[in-house]
A and B are shown apart, each in its own frame.
Chain A
Amino acid sequence: MNAKYERQLKKGVLEIIVLQLLSKEKMYGYQLIMTMKELSQGMFEMREGTLYPILYRLEDDGLVKSEWSEQKDKEISRKYYKITEDGQKTLIELRSLWHDFSKNVNQILGDNDDE
């Protein structure tokens, strides 16, 4: 299959996934990439060039916020991302949207199976 179609499909859910993960705990960019990979069994192997533009957009829209971790001993302060209140609210709306969305799509796809 042309990888383009798979990419298109995945593109639509990346924001939801990122918000969902950040709603559980604040994370570094690297952490987000690794966690997504694990939880999706490798299907969502996002690269930095895709993840960070999404984080920047979410930040511009006020749905996530970036902060610097506390400096501990020799450890350098690192930048991490966390979800905001607006982000939580939006996540709830998006989850509901996803629910309807997947239900409808399944319905359309499901009909074809019966034929």
Chain B
Amino acid sequence: MMNKEQYIKLVMKKLGCTKKEKEKIKVDLNNDIEMALKNGETFEDIMKRMGTPEELAQEFNDNLGVVYKKSHKKLIIGIIIGVVAVIIAIVLYIQSLIPDINPLGTSGLYQESEVHQWNVEAIGYLNQNDYDSLHQMLSPNLRDRLDDILKAKNDLGELGNFEKITSEQSVEAKQKGELLVASEVVALYEKRSVTYTISFNESGQMVGIYMK
């Protein structure tokens, strides 16, 4: 059997209004029940008349017009935060994938002359099919692909003798935390030109090569 305090406590729990309003209701309900008891009603009668704590709280909520709006607002805010968080996560992820590209010299890690030297050496080794030198120049994870690289060079066909480098463009690119330098080098041979795209890391190891 519930008593007045328990009844009111339950009602308070289910109320969705402001703290100030809740305080007012607590006082008024206390008052009300006391007067009813004084008037000769039993607490059972009173509960029957006022309804269960849940019903009474619901009635207050409906008439104060507060609860549904509040939870609706919270839901919308929650959804917006969720969506924004997902969008931020996606953007950050894509950013980490896209290499950050800057002109050569921006970081101070790579010198143009040094990079040029590497490019010239690399192309030279390729021209001579110098397996060992190439092997030494390649970064560890590219060494397995050495045969593919040489094959690619051969697939270009009869080039004739190497004449000179006609153009060279380099950029610094940050990829997965590493700062690399990538160059597009056009090499002129007797029969035709070949465009090499070569990438090196800070230690001067080749981390990528593409030719057409």
Residues on A facing B (Cβ under 8 Å): 28-31, 33-34, 47-50, 52-56, 76, 78-79
Contact = CB atoms under 8 A, between A and B. Distances in A.
25 contacts: A28-B31, A29-B28, A29-B31, A30-B32, A30-B35, A31-B35, A34-B39, A48-B28, A48-B50, A48-B56, A49-B51, A49-B55, A49-B56, A49-B59, A49-B63, A52-B24, A52-B28, A52-B60, A54-B63, A55-B28, A56-B21, A56-B24, A78-B31, A78-B34, A78-B35
B63 to A, nearest CB: 4
Nearest to A56: B24
A45 to B, nearest CB: 9
A27 to B, nearest CB: 11
Interface residues of B, number: 24
Contacts of A34: 39
Contacts of B60: 49, 52-53
Given A49-B51, A49-B60, 7 more contacts: A30-B32, A48-B56, A49-B55, A49-B58, A52-B24, A76-B34, A78-B31
B59 A50 contact: yes
A48 B35 contact: no
A52 B25 contact: yes
Contacts of B35: 28-31, 78
Contacts of B63: 49-50, 53-54
B36 interface: yes
The binding surface of chain B is classed by DSSP as: helix
A55 B57 CA distance: 16
A40 B33 CA distance: 22
Contacts of B21: 56
B49 interface: yes
B31 A48 contact: no
B120 interface: no
Contact of B59 (A28, A47, A55): A47
Contacts of A78: 31, 34-35
A8 to B, nearest CB: 13
Given A28-B35, A30-B36, A56-B21, A79 B28 contact: yes
B27 interface: yes
B51 A47 contact: yes
A79 B51 CA distance: 22
A35 B84 CA distance: 56
A73 B65 CA distance: 40
